[in-house]
Amino acid sequence: MALLEILQYPDKRLRTVAEAVDVIDDATRQLVDDMFETMYAAPGIGLAATQVNVHRRIIVMDLSAEKNQPLCLINPEIIKAEGVEQTEEGCLSVPDIFETVERAERIVVKALDAQGKEFTLEADGLLAVCIQHEIDHLDGNVFVDYLSPLKQMRVKKKLQKARRQAAIL
Residue type, 121: L
SS3 for 150? helix
Decide whether 86 or 120 has the Cβ nearer to Ni ion. 86
Shortest distance, position 23 Cβ to Ni ion, whole Å: 26
Q: Helix, strand, or coil here: 37? A: helix
| Of residues 41, 24, 124, the one with CA closest to residue 75 | 24
Position 130 contacts Ni ion (CB under 5 A): no
Cβ proximity to Ni ion, 89 vs 111, nearer residue: 89
Of 91, 107, 135, 155, the one binding Ni ion by CB under 5 A = 91
**Considering only 32-40, 69-77, 89-97, 114-122, which stretch makes contact with Ni ion by CB under 5 A?**
89-97
Q: Which is nearer to Ni ion, 32 or 91 (CB)?
A: 91
CA distance 169 to 163: 10
- For 99, the enclosing helix (H) or strand (E) is strand 94-103
Which residue in the list 37, 82, 89, 134 is annotated as catalytic? 134
- State yes or no: is 134 an active-site residue: yes
Report d(CA 112, CA 109) in Å as an integer: 10
How many residues make contact with Ni ion (CB under 5 A)? 1
**Which residues would be at the binding site for Ni ion (CB under 5 A)?**
91
Residues carrying an active site annotation:
134
